[in-house]
Structure 1
Amino acid sequence: MADEKPTMPDADQSSEDKVTAPNHLEEKGVSTAAPGYPALEKDSGNKDIPDPDAHLSAEEKAAVDKKLIRKLDFTLIPILCVLYLLAFLDRTNIGNAKIDGLQASLHHMSTGKYNATLSIFFVSYSVFEPLTNILLKRLRPSVFIPIIMIIWGICMTFMGFVTNWSGLMAARWFLGLAEAGLFPGINYYLSCWYRREEFGIRAAIFFSAAAVSGSFGGLLAAAINKMNGLGGRPGWAWIFILEGILTVLFGFAAIWLVHDFPDDAKFLSEQDRERVIRRLKMDKQSSAEHEEFKMKYVWMAMKDYKMWLGMVIYMGCDMPLYAFSLFLPSIIKQLGYSNTKAQLLTVPPYAAAAILTITIGYIADRTKQRGLCNICVSFLGIAGFAMLLGSEKAGVKYAGTFLGALGIYPCIANTISWTANNIEGVYKRGVVLGFVIGWGNLNGIVSSNIYFNSPKYTVGHAVVMAYMIVCLLGGSIVLRTLLARENKLREAGKRDHWIEGRSDREIEALGDMRPDFIYTL
């Protein structure tokens, strides 16, 4: 936040393209009136991008743009939702397996050992997440995503054949390693296709697959449990085997169904590729372009306060997410229901969470008030866990699970969208999202070790509440306040001196440190 000239990323510079910044950006032809919508003729960053629709009227351009977005949505979003549904199903179905007899089958595995199997997933998952977006960019989505899907599907399948705690630990470790690239990778990938005010609803629809997987997982586990004893395997083993095989099949299908970045996407015509890249440029984004990786992008991310606050906020909703999804079947079973009924009663809270996640994504895109959305929604989750913590009545506790889900799931997608909106630069954004999501998931270790002493689960509910109050609610308030302050400084021309003496290319390379880049609040 210090008022100093930002460090300039390396760029070639010639004497003829130097510019000098007057006191206000408007005087040099850069518009800051509407965040993310500079006038094309005033933005020097767009002058070299061909416009295939230059001959069309404004109405015709709008129709072409609408058709393009519809094509992107129907081509990209459905398959990504299915992939994440499978990923979240595979990482959390151990909660369903637990109430179907997993612990008893593996030599009466203790609660401590069971919690360790939950924790080991998050260790490998979190350690490798910051690296995965770099691999995604280098290997291409159509190669990277199918590879990791097939690997984690195989790990999932073999979890159905483990005979002891050590085998389960090893399978969960490699499951976390393989899944590490999907969630940060897909969010980064989507941010390379859509403008900032379009990204949130798509990320919300994508993440709603996690809530749907909770509903689907409960229904599926209740049905698969009927296979108990088939082939000499218990019902919980068939949950792992069948869901693992399903993931492997979709992994192979993803080779043809997952597309690369806009400049390489085969399903687009050359004109449509130009349209996608041009509209991202108009939104002050360079994410569609090729960029060589350098360590400077890592250091740029590390020096950005938005990354650190994003990590705090994300841990405030991600730790509760895993606590909720891993232990919801056990929480409901402790209310006095049978195994099958407990599995089925997990469905409605997840369904409600999926609906609100998409709703909040839509509202946040339209209002550009992602911070306020986080703040308001977090109160639902806090109230829900307060009900779980303070009441002894089964009906009140079950209602608390609804509010808990409603307060957690929308904040996940919204926080990721908020972070991606405010970080510019291909690799910098990838690194920041990797760190934010990786740190949040590392807190899954906490989720795995706070639920004991049933049926009250006092420690678990209290820790979740603390995370949501301090990190999610408090962090969102702090970040929104700092971003609003910075926007006011930029709009008042107090950051114009950052581009004095810089070439057009150097100004563009500043990314979100450009004085005309207005943050999403």
Structure 2
Amino acid sequence: MAPFQAPAPSGAGDQIVEKSGIEIFQDEDIAKQVFHQGVVPDSLIDKSREEILVLRKRLVRKIDFRLMPMLVVLFLLNILDRNNFTNARLGGLEDDLNMDSHQYSTALMIMYVGYLIFQFPSNVILSKFPRPGIYLAVACCLWGTVSTSMAAVQSYSHVIVVRFFLGFVEAPFFPGALLMLTSWYVREELPLRIAVLYAGNTLSNCFGGLIAAGVIGGMDGVAGIASWRWLFIIEGCFTIGMSFVAYFVLPNYPADCKWLSEEERDYAIWRIADEAAGVDDGADGESIWAGGLKAIKDPKLYMLILIQMSLLVGMAYTYFFPSIVKTLGYSNVLTLLLTAPPYALAFFGSLGNSIHAGKTGERAFHIIVPLSISCLGNILCITLTNTAGRYVAMFLMTFGVYSAFNVTLSWVSSTMPRPKSKRAAALAMVNSLANCTHLFTSYLYPNSDKPRYMTAGITLACFCGLCALSSFALRTWLRRENQKLDRAEGFAKGDPEYVDGRRKGFRYMY
């Protein structure tokens, strides 16, 4: 069998590199990857180009079918059990528990206290846990149980306790899911997969309103139970049931995966290591604390935190969206139905934006443009007075921030090189510190600011602008870093990726 060969880039000639005495052509068709010293396993060395291409397609297809559907469903349930509190507000939760607007905001906020406390320790555990699928499945069962218990609360103090522990048990999922994705997919594959994952968020907000409309409109008083309590019971019990499915479906990391063949497993490990210039993703042996120290010393981390924090402030309306839509003057059930279409648009917009970002390898402008749209939506929502205009503005608000969110997360992974410990720490820190914004954004929409919520609209518009400017600044920074790497490796400005049989090493995506 001929050794794995692929044509060199156009105009580069038949440049080759040697690997243990075997000539291996550079191959742009395989995600522009190259074999690095000490990485290529024996099962791949004798593969032809066509066989490697087939292997890659088969592997990615298997990963997509095994990993993505379950993660999307779990994320949908994660957000559903977090946001059903906002929908329950229209079902009479505040009145039944004698809560005022400030107490409602505090109940929203307290969940993120528990969320922030446990998120980084959770990633410490997950980064070394041999069965991450089991870890996330158990977390799912726990948050479903806590969410269901909200149906039994009888006072504001009960709500605070349940919401705090809900945040505590929900904390492991999102950073854990991102860590799993970055352990299976290479950089150009991540934007689309993160978009598909985050579709669970947009779909949750879309279907959450529809489910709440059905429950609140048709189950009030059934078995003597208020409709908003039924909302927690139904959604929480479904989450518990899905956690048992997740226990058997979610995979391990590639090195320990038994549902792949030996060559598929070797290729899955190799392509992740190859992307990082030969650094094996799972062989560094470092703890996440060592990775965290490396991440803290990397100044780019702080720009990524600023971008994510600004974006999450721009998304703060999400937890008040039913109340915002209610200012249009419709009934509770119709209001809940009207919350769905903006999230449906955001779902398709985020997928399209992420697919394009993945194909082009561009990040910054796939954040800047959507955030500009969201900024405009916030401005229109607080300045327009007619119902149709304000509802259209809500579409723009939602479309922009959700389209940008997926790209910012993939940017964190591609900007923080391996080892896995550093990437896990960076993802945890960015997500944790960014979520600190909920400690004040939970109070941006008091009832006294109805119907325009002027303060909130101005705040969200400003932070959308800050996120766009920060993204442009990081783009400029990373371009300069790539130029320094070119000079250090002896490449001239404008050189193609392959010159005289040499390939450029790691480069930042911007």
TM, length-normalised to structure 1 = 0.86
Alignment of 1:315-326 (within 5 A): 315-321=309-315, 323-326=316-319
How many residue pairs end up in the alignment? 472
Q: What's the CA shift for 1:73?
A: 0.6
Out of 49, 69, 82, the position equivalent to 2:73 is 82
| Aligned twin of 1:466 | 462
Q: Tell me, in whole angstroms, the C-alpha distance in 1 between the residues paired with 2:486 and 2:426.
A: 25
8 Å CA contact 2:33–2:271 kept in 1: the answer is: no
Structural RMSD (CA): 2.3
- Residue 128, structure 1, aligned to residue 118, structure 2: yes
Q: What's the CA shift for 1:49?
A: 3.1
Alignment CA distance shift 1:375-1:477 (3 Å): same
- Residue 519, structure 1, aligned to residue 494, structure 2: no
Q: Tell me, in whole angstroms, the C-alpha distance in 1 between the residues paired with 2:505 and 2:480.
A: 14
- Residue 396, structure 1, aligned to residue 389, structure 2: yes
Structure 1 alignment gaps of length 5 or more:
1-25, 497-514
Q: Tell me, in whole angstroms, the C-alpha distance in 1 between the residues paired with 2:262 and 2:376.
A: 51
- Residue 235, structure 1, aligned to residue 230, structure 2: no
SS in 2 for 1:456: coil
Alignment CA distance shift 1:221-1:122 (3 Å): same
Q: What's the CA shift for 1:288?
A: 4.1
Q: Tell me, in whole angstroms, the C-alpha distance in 1 between the residues paired with 2:488 and 2:255.
A: 35
Structure 2 alignment gaps of length 5 or more:
1-14, 20-24, 492-503
| Aligned twin of 1:7 | none
8 Å CA contact 1:192–1:287 kept in 2: the answer is: no
| Aligned twin of 1:349 | 342
Q: Tell me, in whole angstroms, the C-alpha distance in 2 between the residues paired with 1:353 and 1:272.
A: 35
8 Å CA contact 2:309–2:435 kept in 1: the answer is: yes
Out of 254, 260, 264, the position equivalent to 1:272 is 264
The amino acid of 1:137's aligned partner reads: S
Q: What's the CA shift for 1:132?
A: 2.0
Alignment of 1:81-480 (within 5 A): 81-107=72-98, 109-139=99-129, 140-225=131-216, 226-284=218-276, 286=279, 288-294=281-287, 295-321=289-315, 323-424=316-417, 425-452=419-446, 453-470=449-466, 472-480=467-475
Moved more, 456-465 or 337-346: 456-465
8 Å CA contact 1:157–1:244 kept in 2: the answer is: yes
Q: Tell me, in whole angstroms, the C-alpha distance in 1 between the residues paired with 2:31 and 2:506.
A: 7
Q: What's the CA shift for 1:382?
A: 0.5
8 Å CA contact 1:36–1:283 kept in 2: the answer is: no
The amino acid of 1:449's aligned partner reads: Y
Q: Tell me, in whole angstroms, the C-alpha distance in 2 between the residues paired with 1:398 and 1:98.
A: 20
Q: What's the CA shift for 1:65?
A: 1.1
| Aligned twin of 2:5 | none
Q: Tell me, in whole angstroms, the C-alpha distance in 2 between the residues paired with 1:346 and 1:355.
A: 16
- Residue 482, structure 1, aligned to residue 484, structure 2: no
The amino acid of 1:274's aligned partner reads: D
8 Å CA contact 2:39–2:273 kept in 1: the answer is: no
8 Å CA contact 1:229–1:235 kept in 2: the answer is: yes
| Aligned twin of 1:11 | none
| Aligned twin of 2:486 | 491
8 Å CA contact 1:155–1:171 kept in 2: the answer is: yes
TM, length-normalised to structure 2 = 0.88
8 Å CA contact 1:222–1:343 kept in 2: the answer is: yes
8 Å CA contact 2:111–2:164 kept in 1: the answer is: yes
Alignment CA distance shift 1:54-1:290 (3 Å): closer
8 Å CA contact 1:306–1:419 kept in 2: the answer is: no
Out of 44, 58, 62, the position equivalent to 2:49 is 58
Moved more, 53-62 or 460-469: 53-62
8 Å CA contact 2:72–2:200 kept in 1: the answer is: yes
8 Å CA contact 1:95–1:329 kept in 2: the answer is: yes
Alignment CA distance shift 1:48-1:476 (3 Å): closer
Q: What's the CA shift for 1:161?
A: 0.9
Q: What's the CA shift for 1:464?
A: 0.9
Offset from partner CA, 1:61-117 (integer Å, 9 cap, x none): 21221111111111110010000000011111111111111100002x110000000
Q: What's the CA shift for 1:36?
A: 7.5
Moved more, 121-130 or 160-169: 121-130
Q: Tell me, in whole angstroms, the C-alpha distance in 1 between the residues paired with 2:338 and 2:152.
A: 28
Q: Percent identity?
A: 31
| Aligned twin of 1:6 | none
